[in-house]
Amino acid sequence: MKKVLVRYRNSALRNFVRKHSKYAPILFFIGGFIFDTLTLGRIDRTYDLTVLCMHMTSLSITLYLYNLVDDGKWKNTFLERYEEYLPLAIQFFFGGLSSAYVIYFSRSVSLSKSASFFIILVLLLIANEFLKKRISNKYLQFGVYYFISFTFFTFMIPVFLKELNTTVFLISGAVSLASTLILLIFIYSKSPSTRKEIKLGKMITIILAIYGIINLFYFLRLIPPVPLALDKGIVAHEIVLNNGNYEVTYEAEKSFVFWRKHNLNYSYSPDQRVYIFSSIFAPTDLKKSIFHRWRRYNNKTEEWENVEDIGYDITGGRDGGFRGYTYKTNVTPGEWEVQVLTEEEQILGVIGFNINLRENQEPLRLKTSKF
């Protein structure tokens, strides 16, 4: 009775997938994204680590199984009845992992220069919807797999080593490169159909090219220093540390600007302090030096000018992010920004604001929030 029920369910699922084959990829894409959005929170949480590791492991296994289908490897085995689901499974794991990265990256207040890498992830996430027809292209399979693998290890290794620097990034890249090449060569040795379809040298060249491009992005500081993320950035009138909480007083935004509480215009009086408050997410026990680079826009030269770098250290693990602030006096009215950077000068985010000279003493719409 149980076997009959299982066969009925498998048959019903197969008929559903075949009947809605046009929309199945979209459903798997949306399903993976919604699953990650609802369940993932912080990269150092045991659940998140487990889910991402399971996604990556399952993707690797599924990629192996799928590439041996054309060789008849699974004929007369229990896997034969599931062969047509393997492309959808690959797509689900591609979507699940890329959406997880998008979720973590999007925590940043400002992606600034790292927006280019973020856009690549978003495009990969969207393009995943259209991979169904091309997923049999093994060059595409392993190219996307390697990009996903590289990003996976650049998230994971800093969390486990509790350290983030150029050496750790290079180690992450080397581990992802080695693991991808091992999987590729293993599948290539086991699958005659794969050997007919791709040239191993060409595939390795593509992977090495992706490796080189990502490293170029890193050294050009176009990749955000994951897993660090700028959570909050506020220009404030006063900041007080009280019972372990920062009480930040800032100019309140107009009610119709529902996506932001603080105003980006600062009403300035001579000799008044201008504070910048930032909250940075960092995984548990990960320590890092951070600094604020104060910059002013010169209307005459139409260029940004560095005014001062003010640093402080962070230690991760707090859900609300590691909090800190810097301040300046004797500033001039105009357009300003504060870059939040690591000691390697990788940008976590940019906090932009305008300083306006206060010409009257009308009360300001100030609001105080605890962080």
- DSSP 8-state secondary structure symbol assigned to residue 364: P
pLDDT band at 6 (very low <50, low <70, confident <90, very high): very low
pLDDT at residue number 27: 64
Which of 157, 192, 219 terminates a domain? The answer is: 219
Q: What is the pLDDT of residue 101?
A: 72
pLDDT tens figures, 163-201: 888 888 999 999 999 999 999 999 999 999 999 988 999
Question: In whole angstroms, what is the distance from residue 93 CA to residue 91 CA?
Answer: 5
pLDDT, tens only, 328-367: 988 999 999 999 888 888 888 889 999 998 877 777 888 8
Contacts of 321 (CB under 8 A, 6+ apart): 231, 232, 279, 280, 281, 282
Residues 146 and 215 placed together within one structural domain of the fold: yes
- Cα distance between residue 204 and residue 326, in whole Å: 48
Both 72 and 204 in a single domain?
yes
SS3 51: helix
89 pLDDT higher than 90: no
What pLDDT score does 8 carry? 43
Provide the token pair at 38: 């609802």
Same domain, 30 and 143: yes
Distances (CA, A) of 289 to 277, 295, 312: 16, 19, 6
Dmax over CA atoms of the chain, in Å, equals: 85
- The alpha carbon of residue 29 and the mean position of all alpha carbons in its chain are separated, in whole angstroms, by 18
Cα–Cα distance for residue pair 339/146, rounded to 1 Å: 31
> Which residue is associated with the tokens 């293993």?
186
Q: What is the mean pLDDT of the chain?
A: 80
Give residue 247's pLDDT band: very low, low, confident or very high (50, 70, 90): very high
| Domain annotation covers residue 38 | yes
**Quick one: 203 and 323 in the same domain?**
no
Q: Are residues 213 and 277 in the same domain?
A: no
Confidence of residue 311 (pLDDT cuts 50, 70, 90): confident
Q: Which of 18-32, 148-162, 198-212, 259-273 has the lowest mean pLDDT?
A: 18-32
Tell me the average pLDDT across 9-25: 56
Looking at per-residue confidence, does 166 or 137 come out higher?
166
Q: How many CB atoms lie within 10 A of CB 313?
A: 12
- Rounded to whole angstroms, what are the CA distances from 330 to 153, 354, 366? 45, 15, 21
| Strand arrangement of the beta sheet that strand 229-236 belongs to | 229-236, 274-281, 322-328
Q: Is 215 exposed, middle or buried (0-12, 13-18, 19+ CB in 10 A)?
A: middle
Q: How far apart are CA 356 and CA 217, in angstroms?
A: 37
The pLDDT, as a whole number, for residue 12 is 58
In a domain, 88, yes or no: yes
227: cis peptide before it, omega within 30°? yes
Looking at per-residue pLDDT, the higher value among 62 and 285 belongs to 62
pLDDT over 50 (residue 316): yes
**Pairing, β 274-281 against β 229-236:** antiparallel
Looking at the fold, whether 155 and 240 belong to one and the same domain comes out as: no
Which DSSP state fits 252? B
Q: Supply the pLDDT for residue 336.
A: 95
Does some domain include residue 149?
yes
CA 218 to CA 182: how far, in whole Å?
A: 24
- Say yes or no: 189 and 136 in one domain: yes
Please name every residue paired with 327 in a beta bridge, in sequence order, or none if there are none: 275
Which of 4-13, 67-76, 81-90, 292-301 comes out lowest in average pLDDT? 4-13
Q: Which of 152, 141, 143, 121 is nearest to 210 (CA)?
A: 143
| CATH number of the domain that residue 265 is part of | 2.60.40.1930
* pLDDT of res. 1: 47
Outline where 162-289 has alpha helix (H): 166-190, 192-197, 200-219
Query: Do 119 and 255 fall into the same domain?
Result: no
Whether residue 298 is predicted with pLDDT greater than 50 in this model: the reply is: yes
Name the domain count of the chain: 2
Confidence of residue 205 (pLDDT cuts 50, 70, 90): very high
Residues 286 and 203 in one domain: no
**Model pTM greater than 0.75?**
no
Q: Give the lowest-confidence range in 26-35, 127-136, 306-315, 356-365.
A: 127-136
Could you tell me if 201 and 242 lie in one domain? no
Q: Are residues 31 and 105 in the same domain?
A: yes
pLDDT of residue 223: 75
* pLDDT above 60: residue 249: yes
Of 219, 249, 265, the residue that ends a domain is: 219
Query: Would you state the pLDDT for residue 137?
Result: 76
- Domain membership of residue 224 (yes or no) is no
Q: What is the extent of the structural domain holding 249?
A: 229-370
pLDDT at position 306 is 94
Residues 168 and 297 in one domain: no
- CA-CA distance, 140 to 145, in Å (whole number)? 8
The C-alpha atoms of residue 351 and residue 235 are separated, in whole angstroms, by: 8
pLDDT band, residue 5 (cuts 50/70/90): very low
pLDDT of 90 > 70? The answer is yes
Answer for the pair 157, 176: CB distance below 8 angstroms, yes or no. Answer: no
pLDDT band at 10 (very low <50, low <70, confident <90, very high): low
Please say which residue of 189, 219, 249 terminates a domain: 219
Tell which wins on pLDDT, 25 or 237: 237
Residue pair 266/357 in contact (Cβ under 8 Å)? The answer is no
Q: What is the mean pLDDT of residues 234-255?
A: 87
